[in-house]
Amino acid sequence: MEYKFYSNADYEKMIELWEAAQLPYKPNGRDSKEKIASSLKNSNLRILLAYINSQLVGSIIVTHDGRKGWINRLAVHPNYWHKGLASKLIQKAEQILQDMNIEIFACLIEDWNKASLQLFQKNGYTKHEDIFYLTKRKHPDV
């Protein structure tokens, strides 16, 4: 497997991967090509892509706020589900964060996504029953 960081030329292939992996996304909002390009100007954000035989098979977005790292938008092509690729992407994301001197790793998982919950728990993440996630959005596409 080969890894590379996202560039704007990768957008269409990444969206195809997200669609194949059934990852919900906001094409008219935060996941538009323009918004992602703008977000990449922030030095605290990286998008890592995984390739096998030149085919994009996985992606993960890694961010941090200076003290806590966040793993977002993990996607693996269905042909590679249950083969350890998602765990490898998590490990790579953690290494990226460690290289930025971040020592706390976090992710948000919606309650319906049991597979992701099990994946992250298998990778050493602790589920907190006492935390509530709240958002306030300018509009539904963000």
> What is the residue range of 43's domain?
2-122
**Are 18 and 75 in contact, with CB atoms under 8 Å apart?**
yes
Q: Does residue 127 belong to any structural domain of this protein?
A: no
Structure tokens at 13: 């292939």
The pLDDT value given to residue 141: 80
Whether 142 maps to a domain, the answer reads no
First to last CA, the chain: 32
69 occurs within a structural domain: yes
Radius of gyration of the chain (CA): 15
Q: Is residue 39 helix, strand or coil? A: helix
130 falls within a domain: no
By the 8 A CB rule, do 73 and 23 touch? yes
Decide if 133 is inside a domain. Answer: no
Neighbours of 56 (CB within 10 A): 18
Number of domains in the chain: 1
65: in domain:
yes
Distance CA 32, CA 142 (A): 10
Measured CA to CA, the distance from residue 52 to residue 71 in angstroms comes to: 22
Does any domain span residue 134? no
Burial level of 86, CB count in 10 A (0-12/13-18/19+)?
Answer: buried
Please check whether residue 132 lies inside any domain of the structure. no
For the record, the structure tokens of 113 come out as 């996504």
Q: How far apart, in whole angstroms, are the C-alpha atoms of residue 25 and residue 15?
A: 9
Q: What is the CATH number of the domain that holds 30?
A: 3.40.630.30
Which residues of the chain, if any, have pLDDT below 50? none
